[in-house]
Amino acid sequence: MELSKQIRILLLNEMEKLEKTLFRLEQGFELQFRLGPTLQGKAVTVYTNYPLPGEAFNREKFRSLDWENPTEREDDSDKYCKLHLQQSGSFQYYFLQGQEKSGGGYIVVDPVLRIGADNRVLPLDCVTLQTFLAKCLGPFDEWEGRLRVAKESGYNMIHFTPLQTLGLSRSCYSLANQLELNPDFSRPDKRYDWSDVGQLVEKLKREWNILCITDVVYNHTATNSKWIQEHPESAYNLVNSPHLKPAWVLDRALWHLSCDVADGKYREKGVPALIENDQHMNCIRKIIWVDIFPRIQLWEFFQVDVNKAVEQFRRLLTQENRRVTKSEPKEHLKIIQDPEFRRLGCSVDMNIALETFVPHDKGPAAVEECCKWFRQKLEELNSEKHHLTSCHQEQAVNCLLGNVFYERLAGHGPKLGPVTRKYPLVTRYFTFPFEEMTLSTEESMIHLPEKACFLMAHNGWVMGDDPLRNFAEPGSDVYLRRELICWGDSVKLRYGNKPEDCPYLWAHMKKYTEITATHFQGVRLDNCHSTPLHVAEYMLDAARKLQPNLYVVAELFTGSEELDNIFVTRLGISSLIREAMSAYNSHEEGRLVYRYGGEPVGSFVQPCLRPLMPAIAHALFMDITHDNECPIVHRSAYDALPSTTIVSMACCASGSTRGYDELVPHQISVVAEERFYTKWNPGASPSDTGDVNMHSGIIAARCAINRLHQELGAKGFIQVYVDQVDGDIVAVTRHSPSIHQSVVAVSRTAFRNPKTSFYSKEVPQMCIPGKIEEVVLEARTIERDTKPYKKDENSINGMPNMTVELREHIQLHESKIVKQAGIATKGPNEYIQEIEFENLSPGSVIIFSIASKLTLAELNQVLYRCESEEQEDGGGCYDIPNWSSLKYAGLQGLMSVLAEIRPKNDLGHPFCENLRSGDWMIDYVSGRLISRSGSIAEVGKWLKAMFFYLKQIPRYLIPCYFDAILIGAYTTLLDVAWKQMSSFVQNGSTFVKHLSLGSVQMCGVGKCPCLPLLSPSLLDVPCRLNEITKEKEQCCASLAAGLPHFSSGLFRCWGRDTFIALRGMLLVTGRYLEARNIILAFASTLRHGLIPNLLGEGTYARYNCRDAVWWWLQCIQDYCKMVPNGLDILKCPVSRMYPTDDSAPLPAGTLDQPLFEVIQEAMQRHMQGIQFRERNAGPQIDRNMKDEGFNITAGIDEETGFVYGGNRFNCGTWMDKMGESDRARNRGIPATPRDGSAVEIVGLCKSAVRWLLELSKKNIFPYHEVRVRRHGKVVAVSYDEWNRKIQNNFEKLFHVSEDPSDPNEKHPELVHKRAIYKDSYGASSPWCDYQLRPNFTIAMVVAPELFTAEKAWKALEIAEKKLLGPLGMKTLDPDSSDMVYCGVYDNALDNDNYNLARGFNYHQGPEWLWPIGYFLRAKLYFSKMMGPETAAKTVFLVKNVLSRHYVHLERSPWKGLPELTNENGQYCPFSCETQAWSMAVVLETLYDL
C-alpha cells in the first residue's frame, strides 16, 4: 500500500519569532504555511531561502511563496503556501505584513543516509557509531584490519578524528595543515592521499554497510601551522586585538614565575617545584599578590595619566577667547579606553570636563581650584579602574590555583608532578616565538607590530560562558581573568564577520571543508559551541553543495535547550551528541534515556496531515565519547555491558568509542596516545595483545545489542519507558505502537566494583506487562582464567580476564538469569508476567521480547461495542444532537458515519457540526478508551495526544483532520486484527478480511464475563483484576448471537447460535484459543446429556433445545481437524458444574474431567434416553410456554439410530418461535415444533458418531461403544453399529421418492413435492415432515455420506428454485400445502391472524441468512460429483450469490450481515442488524471455495 504524503502545517501568527524553536522535517514532506487567527484578512507575504527545484541553495537569496486557495472562498481560512521538501539542511523563512517583517524562524530537514550496494536507507534512529582516534589506526594499509572490529561489532557508522597532519603536541584536534593527509599514514615507499581515503570510505559504505564521518575543526589551528605564520592576521594577535595586551603581560609574568619555581627560586618563600599541599598553594597566592601584581601594574592599561590630563585641561582653561558658560553637562566624566591599550594611555572627554569644572572667574586661583577638582575626579576614576582590575586579578588567581590544584593535587587529575618548562605552573595563553628575555624587555614588543602580530592567543573553552559571545573579541575579559581552560597547542582563529574580513582564512577553511565533504558522508563539528555561527553556516553550505545529504553531528555545552536550538536550527545539525558518562548513578542514566531516547507517547500511525510541532534535537547518545575519561576508572569493568545496553535502548542514534568494548581500563588520550588499535582476528587467544575477536571484552554482546538497536529503529519502536527497579537495576522498554510489541531490557549496573562493594543477592521481582515471547538475549560479565591486564607497549589492549557469557533467542525456561516466571494480573485485560531472578549479577543484562499487542478481544472494545454492551460497562454510544446515536461506541461507529459524509463532502451534517461546535466527541473517543486499561488505554492516550494537535487548529478544519486521524488509526487497527488471524484471512480477499472482522465484532469480554469459569488447571486462560472485588478473575471472550438484540446480559450467549457460528467466526479466522475456551466452558454445563440453549453463565441455563449438544460436538470435531495439535483438546480438563442432573452448581476446579469423558456422557445419555422437566417450570422462566412444553425428551431410536425428541408444545431446534398472542389464540403453541427426528440433527449426530468411530479405531478416543440399561440389563451399542444404522436408514426414510409407490413412504397422501428430503421424520403432526425447508442442506454438509449424489443434486436444485433468496433462504416453501407461508416478519403486529400475530411466522417464510451457507457448501460439494461443467457453473452461482452479501456488508453501517430479511431480500426492521452465524457461514463458504 502506498504511503500517503506527509503534510505538516505551520500556522503563522503576528510577531511570532521562532528562531529558537526547532522544527524538524523529513525529505518528501510537504510544509504548508497557513495564516493563524491574528493574520487572517491581512496582506501577508511569506519568504524563504529554500531553493526552487533544480536551483542551488543560497542562504542570502529569499523568494516569496504563492498563496493557494483550494476552496476559492473569500476568506483566508483555507489558503496556504507550500514547500515540497526535497533537500536536507537548515532553511529560513520570514513573513511580511504589508512591508513590515512580522515573524519568522527556521526549519531543519533531515538528511537521508544510504548504505550498501543497493543504496538502502539507514534511518537516523538506527545509527550505531564508533569513534576511532585516526592516529591510532597506524599505516593506511593496515586500517581495514583495525576498522573491521567496528564491522564485526555491529556498528554501521565510523567517526574518525581528524585525518590531517597534526601539530607538535600530537593532539588529534591540533592540526598543522588542514589540507594535507597525515603523513604518518604513509610508508617510506608508498605515499597515500585523500583519494585513497575516499576509496576506502566508499568500500566501507558499499561492502560493509558502514558510513564514515570525520571532524571539522574551524576554531583553531596548531601553533606550528606554517600558514598561520604566513598569515598571522588569521589569529587573535596583539596587533588586530590590542585589548588582549594586559592579559598577555599577565601571561608572561606567570610564565616567568613558573620558570622561577621550576628553578627553585621560590623554595625559600614556601613554593618548591613539586607542589604537594594547600600550604604550597597559599604561598603561590601570596607571591602573586605581593610580587607579581605590584610589578606588572595591570591597572595602568585602563587608567589615565593624571598629570598629563590635568596639564591639557589647564591649557584649555586658560586659552584666550574661550567663552565661559555655566551649564549642567549632558554626560558624566568617564575614562575612554585607549584603543591601543598603552599604559596610562586612556583619556577623558575634555569637553565634558570643561562643562563640568567651570572657574568662577578668569583669575589664576580659580583656574587652580578647577584643576584641583579635575585632578581629584581623575584619581577617583583611576581608583575605580584599579578596583576593577583587582577584581579581575582576584578571579585570575582563583582560576590559576584551581588549575594548579586539578593538574597537580586532585585525585582525578593528571598529577603532572614538579613544575618544569614542559609542564609549567599554568598553561600559557599566548604564543611567544622568540628567545627568552626579561619581562620588561618582552613588554616592549607589544607595541612593535612586526613582532606583536606573532603574539597570538591560544584557544580553549570557558565554563558557563555564553556560547553566542566570542570570548576573544573586545568586551570580553576571559583572557585577563584567566577563565579560559586553555589548549596551549592551538591558536584561536579570527574570521571577522564576513570572508572579506580575512580572505585567506575563509578560503583556506572552505577548501578544507570541501576535501572533507568530497570523501565523507558526514561531519562532526568540533568545539561547535565556540565556533562562530556565521562561519559554520558558510562552511556547511559549501559542504552540502558536494554532499547534499550531509550528516552533521555536534556536541554542545550550552546548558540550555533554547541555546542548543539556535545552533541546531541555524546549522541544520542532524544529531546532537549526548553522553551517558555524565550520569552519576543508574537512575540518572535511565533519566537520560528517557530525555533523549524517544517519545513517552508516540503514534502507531501518525495522521499524514497535522500541525508542525516544535521538536527537541535528535540525539546521538554515546555511552562514552573519545575525549572523556574511562568509565572503568570511575565505575567498574562490570558496568560496561549494562550501561551500553541502557544507552542502546534509547530511540535515537547510539554510539561508543573504540576501546570501550575491549574494556581498555584507561582513557585513550587524544594527545598522548601513540599506540595502535588492535586488529580483528577470529582465532586470537585472550592473551594476544594485538588482536581481538568475539570473545574479547563485551564485543559479542555489543554486536547483538547493536543489531537489536538497528532492528528496533527500523521497525518503529518509537516509545521509550524507563523503570528504576532499584538502586542498580534499570529496565528500559522500547514499544512499537504500530505492531503493539515491546522489548524490555533489564540491566543491573555496576557503578561500584562488585569485588570490593556489597551488592544484595536479593533482586526484586519484576512485573513484565504482556506475554514474553522469547529472551532476545541474556549476557553476564564474567572473569576468565587468563593473565591479568598489563598495558602493552605497541597496542591499545583491553582487559584479557573479562568477557561476556552470551545467549541469544532462547525460551524463558532456558534462561540462566530468570529463576521462574509466573502469570499475574495488574488491571482489567492486562496480562502480567512476574519474573523472579536468580543470576542477575552486577554487570548482567537480559532482554525480553513482549507480545503486548492489542488482543482481538481488546480490539472488540476499541472498534465495536453496541449500545447495550456499552451500557453493561457503564457507558453508552455517542449521541449526536439533531441526528441519532452512533451504531457502535468504538471507532467503527464513527467510521460508518464518516463513510457516508466523505464522498458527498457533507460538511453540513450534524456529525460535522458537533465536531466544529466543541470537543465533546473528540474527548469521548479518547476518554472512553483511557478509562479502560492496558493496551486499550494506550490507544486512547495516543488518540488524546493526536487530538491535542487537532484542538490547536481552527474549528472549521477539525472535521477533515479528525477524519484523517481516525482513518489512520482505524486502518492500522484493522491490520493489527488481521495479523492475528489465520493465513486464510491474511492472504484473503477484501471480502474475506471484512467478513473476518465479524469475529472481532461478535467476540468480546464485557464487565461481566458471560462464560462459566474454566478449570483452574487449564493453561493460557486469560485473566484480569475485577475492578470491584480487586480479585483475579477469568475473562474469556464469548460470542454474541447478534447485535443489537443478543449482545449483553443473559441474552448474549446461546448454545446453538454459538456453535453454529464458531467454525466460521473462530476456527476459520485462526482464533483457536478463544474457540477452545468456549467449547470447554459449555462442556462444563453439560446436564441431562444436553448443552444449554440460553447459557445464563451456566447457573441460569435452560436445557430446552435438542440440537445445541450436536452442534457443540460438531465444533469439537472441526477444532480437532483444523487446529494444529487439535486433538489435544480431548484431554483438556472440564470443570463440571453439574456432575449429576440434580447437583447444585459446583465451583470451577471441584470436579475436573477430560473432555473425552464429557463427550462420552453426552452420547451415552442420548442412547439411554433423556426425560426431565425444566427446573422452575412456569411463567418465571417462560411466560408463553404451556405446561406440557416444559417436559423435555430426547433419545436415540433403537431401530434407525436417529436422534429424536420434543413434543408439540415445545420447539427444540433453531426454528423455535413460540406463539405470544392471546388475540390470535396462538400463545403457548410453537409455530415449528419439529419434534421427532429433525433432519439436521440426524445429520449432526451421524457426523459425531462417524468421527468418534474413527478416533476409537485409532485409540485416540478411549470408548468404542455406549452402554445403556434396557429392560433391566446393560446393553452395549458400538459406535460402528450406531453409525451403520443411521447410514442404512437415512435416505430410505428421509428422501421423498419420485416413485409414488415407494414402499418406504408411510404417508404418500401428504407428499407435496418429490425428489426432496423431509424436514423431519416421525413428527407428531405428520404433514410437518413433508415441508420443504432448507435444513436438509445442513445434513448434506456435515454428513455427505448419507446422500446419493444424484438425489442430493435434485433436491438442491429444487431448493434453489423454491427457497433461494437474494441474501438468505426462505424458511418454508411458498408452495406449501398448509398455506402458512408468509415472507414478512413483524413482531409488533398483534391481530386475529393465527399464522402472523406477534411474528408467529418467524420461521415460516422470512429469508434467514445462515442456512444459505450450508446450501452453497452442499452445492459446491455435490457439484464436483456431477462433472466439471456443473462444478464450474456452481462456482459461478456461489460467487454470484456471495457478491450480494459483499455489497450488503460494505453498505451496512453495522458492517455485518443481518439475521434475516423479509421476502425477496427486503429489509426487516425486527432482525438483528448483524448476526454471528450469518457472517460465519458466508466465511465458511469462502473457505470451501
Give per-residue pLDDT as tens, 134-154.
Answer: 999 999 999 999 999 999 999
pLDDT band (50, 70, 90) for residue 767? confident
| pLDDT for res 1327 | 94
Q: Answer whether 630's CB lies under 8 Å from 666's CB.
A: yes
3-state secondary structure 1092-1146: CCECHHHCCCCCCCCCHHHHHHHHHHHHHHHCCCHHHHHHCEEECCCCCCCCCCC
Copy the grid coordinates of residue 273: 617545584
pLDDT at 603 over 50: no
Helix, strand, coil percentages for the chain (3-state, nearest 5): 40, 20, 45
Which DSSP string corresponds to 217-230? --SEEETT-HHHHH
Start-to-end Cα distance in the chain: 26
Q: Answer whether 379's CB lies under 8 Å from 387's CB.
A: no
Average pLDDT over residues 429-443: 93
DSSP 41: T
Look over the chain and give the mean of its residue pLDDT values, rounded to a whole number: 92
Average pLDDT over residues 42-53: 94
**pLDDT 10s digits, 1027-1066:** 777 778 888 999 999 999 999 888 899 999 999 999 999 9
Distance of CA 141 to the CA centre of its chain: 43
Each residue of 1267-1280: b (16+ CB within 10 Å) or e?
ebeeeeeeeebebe
Average pLDDT over residues 793-815: 92
Cα–Cα nearest to 1119, from 1062, 1054, 1040 = 1062
**pLDDT 10s digits, 906-957:** 889 999 999 999 999 999 999 999 998 777 888 898 899 888 888 888 888 8
**526, 1182, 1319, 1329: which is the annotated catalytic residue?**
526
Contacts of 1028 (CB under 8 A, 6+ apart): none
Measured over the CA atoms of residue 1080, residue 1084, residue 1085 and residue 1089, the dihedral's sign is positive
**pLDDT 10s digits, 1384-1440:** 999 999 999 999 999 999 999 999 999 999 999 999 999 999 999 999 999 999 999
> Against a cut of 0.75, is the pTM above it?
no
Copy the grid coordinates of residue 603: 503514534
| pLDDT for res 726 | 84
807 versus 36: the higher-pLDDT residue is 807
**159, 392, 529, 735: which is the annotated catalytic residue?**
529
pLDDT band (50, 70, 90) for residue 602? very low
pLDDT at 597 over 60: no
Residue type at 647 in one-letter notation? V
| pLDDT for res 1122 | 95
What is the signed CA dihedral for 1014, 1016, 1017, 1020, rounded to 10 degrees? 70
Which DSSP string corresponds to 419-488? --SSS-SS--SB---S----HHHHHHGGG-HHHHTT-BBEEEEETT--TTS-TTSTT--TTTTT-EEEEE
CA distance linking residue 688 with residue 691, whole number of Å: 6
Each residue of 728-756: b (16+ CB within 10 Å) or e?
bbbbbbbbbbbbbbbbbbbbbbbbbebee
User: What does DSSP say about strands 831-837 and 818-825: parallel, antiparallel, or unpaired?
Assistant: antiparallel
CA distance linking residue 1443 with residue 1366, whole number of Å: 10
CA distance linking residue 276 with residue 283, whole number of Å: 12
Average pLDDT over residues 1018-1026: 81
526 as an active site residue: the answer is yes
pLDDT band (50, 70, 90) for residue 42? confident
940 versus 770: the higher-pLDDT residue is 940
Average pLDDT over residues 981-1007: 92
1165: left (phi over 0), alpha (psi -120 to 50) or beta: alpha
Cα–Cα nearest to 12, from 945, 918, 954 = 954
Q: Answer whether 928's CB lies under 8 Å from 875's CB.
A: yes
pLDDT band (50, 70, 90) for residue 819? confident
| pLDDT for res 825 | 44
Cα 279 to Cα 400, 408, 417, 425, 708, distances in angstroms: 15, 14, 16, 16, 55
Average pLDDT over residues 1253-1259: 97
φ, ψ for residue 1230 (rounded to 5)? -70, 135
**623, 627, 728, 1057: which is the annotated catalytic residue?**
627
529 as an active site residue: the answer is yes
| pLDDT for res 955 | 87
| pLDDT for res 38 | 80
| pLDDT for res 630 | 82
**pLDDT 10s digits, 862-892:** 999 999 999 988 899 999 999 999 999 999 9
1319 as an active site residue: the answer is no
